[in-house]
Amino acid sequence: MNDPRVAIVGGGPTGMALALALRLQGIPAEIFEARARTAVRRDARILALSDGARQILDGLGVWHTLPATAIDTIHISHRGSFGRTVLRSTEMQVPALGWVLPASHLIAALDDAVAAAGIAYHEGTKYEGTKVDAETTANFALTAWAEGAVSADSGKSRDYGQHAVLCVAGVTEAHRNVAWERFTDEGPVALLPLGKDYAVVLTCAAEQAAAVLAMDDAAFRPLLQERFGTRHRFTTLTSRVAYPLGLRYRENPVGVREVWLGNAAQTLHPVAGQGFNLALRDLWELAQHLGQNRGQNRGRANDPGDAAILAQYARGRQLDRHGAIGFTNLLIDSFASDFAPLRHARGAGLLALDLLPPLRDFVARRMMFGARAW
């Protein structure tokens, strides 16, 4: 290819982060986003970022602008069972176990950085292969799909039969930067410190999601309190939104001059907060890999779409991708059953994790840094 540019389809956080990572490697890229650029910034999600993600965003030059709330401690338990595990940043010798912030803040910071770098951002433009719009066709060495979902005919999927109900809740006492992962028979409940409040992720059965959304605060507050327990008392509540939960992933995230990243490569259950963190690791490693191969391989130096280079990237990401997919899937399966012997085994497992510092350290570092923890 005489044209070494990369076409990035999707102007959300994954696509913009990839463009900035490629720029650090001297690889030109252009972003194509079907929505208006201002609409991309209006994202209601709350992101839980690992410390590994913080390092990547710091490398992209945007972390210092973000109003993120640190997670110093993670408390993991299962309602109705003995045993619990507590992870602490001081034991891991890291600044924080994770960070929480509104997705809109991260998107704005990435968008500002993309604009400042002069990276082309084509808003309101649908990209299909080499066709940019009805009148324009462009050639790119590589197309990076950074939006959309994995379709049934392009990967594997599993429907968990659950929805995640999201809101922000005020509490009577300070959260002290403690995050809670509470497993219940109805599904996990997560509380993530956000400013002075908590971002709430409450999982419910798919058939109950509409009823939960329709509840007023007077009805939803006791439901949340019953599911979480009494360690915090909830006061104010924001409006709620719900998302269906499922597992979808491509076995091979690369094709002929194509690569899939973020939700286009895999969509995970939000338990343990692995989804976007995995996406950041994928795109960072892709940019690093393409940069390392730039100037090598007998004339393929300026071809980021070279099949051998993409195959090497895919092999290098296999352990981390499949590890994150398997880890989240295992958590859901392990804590979903109310079979008494399994319930006792779960409690024993949480207790063992709490009593064995090397094992606890391994799990925490795997969550923070992916396969790099090994």
CA distance 136 to 90: 55
CA distance 150 to 265: 6
Q: What is the pLDDT of residue 360?
A: 47
Listed by start position, the domains of the chain span: 6-155+246-373
Model confidence, pTM: 0.87
CA distance 274 to 367: 7
Query: Encoding tokens for residue 124?
Result: 């309101």
- Mean pLDDT in each 10-residue stretch from start to end of the chain (374 residues)? 83 97 96 96 90 94 96 84 77 88 96 98 88 69 91 81 93 96 85 95 93 96 94 95 89 95 88 80 95 63 88 93 79 55 44 48 54 48
CA distance 374 to 370: 8
Q: What is the pLDDT of residue 134?
A: 60
CA distance 348 to 366: 21
Q: Cα dist. 317→73, 249, 252, 282, 370 in Å?
A: 29, 13, 10, 7, 10
Q: What is the pLDDT of residue 91?
A: 84
Q: What is the pLDDT of residue 6?
A: 96
Query: Encoding tokens for residue 52?
Result: 């590994």
Q: What is the pLDDT of residue 271?
A: 63
CA distance 204 to 187: 6
- Which of the listed CATH numbers 3.50.50.60, 3.30.390.30, 3.40.50.300, 3.30.56.10 matches domain 6-155+246-373? 3.50.50.60
* CA of residue 158 relative to chain centroid, distance: 18
Q: What is the pLDDT of residue 57?
A: 97
Residue whose C-alpha is closest to residue 288's, from 10, 55, 48:
55
Query: Encoding tokens for residue 89?
Result: 């940043």
Residue whose C-alpha is closest to residue 286's, from 265, 252, 314, 263:
314
